Amino acid sequence: MINNTINKVLARCKGVFFDMDGVLYDSMGAHADAWSKAFEHFGIDFSPEKVYQNEGRTAHSTINLVYQQNEERMATESEIDQIYSKKSELIEAYPDAIPFIGAKVLMGELKDKGIDIWVVTGSMQDKYLEALLRDFEGLITAEKIISGRDVRHCKPHPEPYLTALHKSGLLADEVIVIENAPLGIQSAKAAGIYTVAINTGILEDCILMESGADLLFKDWKALME
């Protein structure tokens, strides 16, 4: 039954939308650590596990959420600036994120089959978006990246994936999304897209399935097999 569904999805697949952190890059460990330490610097608790649970939000949204949960108010612009600067400073100390080999291999195979490749990420930083074009040269082009700058609402809102559908001219049932995070999965499913979860992080598989994933792989190796 599951195989039938997958075969139908694959048969009409004209595009694959990839999330970036945790799907294309083995980068989430560093982000989780940096976010957690940045909040800790200001005396606020935000565990790495909570970072994974909220992965996909913009920095602005993440900081506001933590303030709402811990301080029962929104963060001020100054607090947002300070915490985000601290997080950015901390992340600089980590080595550059490494692309997952499986992601490059799969993209190469998709490209050969004429399948459209898009990236849908909440990230807004030039540094990461430029690295993406460099690391996936020949596979990803700038106009096929939907970043945090292209949308008003971040994941879990469907807008990022709806924007990718609109710009690509593809229908929801012609596309597959590959995501690693609960909010990203919710965003893709709210946009009506078949969503494959790849659990590259520290959350239990069941959290990704409960977020609505149609299929789950424990890592890139399992997905490629």
Interaction between residue 185 and Ca ion (CB under 5 A): no
Rounded to whole angstroms, how far apart are CA atoms 162 and 156? 12
List Cα–Cα distances, 23 to 71, 77, 93, 213, in angstroms: 32, 31, 22, 14
Minimal distance, residue 120 CB to Ca ion, in Å: 10
β-sheet with 116-120: strand ranges across: 145-146, 116-120, 15-18, 175-179, 194-198, 215-217
Applying CB under 5 A, among 80, 181, 197, 223 the residue interacting with Ca ion is 181
CA 71/CA 67 separation, integer angstroms: 5
For Ca ion, which residue has the nearest CB?
A: 22
CB of 65 or CB of 70, closer to Ca ion? 65
Among 15, 22, 48, 122, binds Ca ion (CB under 5 A): 22
Identified binder of Ca ion from the candidate list 27, 53, 54, 180, rule CB under 5 A = 180
Which window, 12-20, 93-101, 103-111, 124-132, contacts Ca ion (CB under 5 A)?
Answer: 12-20
Binding of Ca ion at residue 21 (CB under 5 A)? yes
Closer residue to Ca ion, CB minimum distance, 83 or 97: 97
The answer to whether 19 contacts Ca ion (rule: CB under 5 A) is yes
- Contacts (CB under 5 A) with Ca ion, residues 140-159: none
Number of residues located near Ca ion, criterion CB under 5 A: 5
| Nearest to Ca ion of 15, 122 (CB atom) | 122
Of the pair 70, 215, the CB lying nearest Ca ion is at: 215
- Cα–chain-centroid distance for residue 169? 21
56, amino acid identity: G
Applying CB under 5 A, the residues found at the interface with Ca ion are 19, 21-22, 180-181
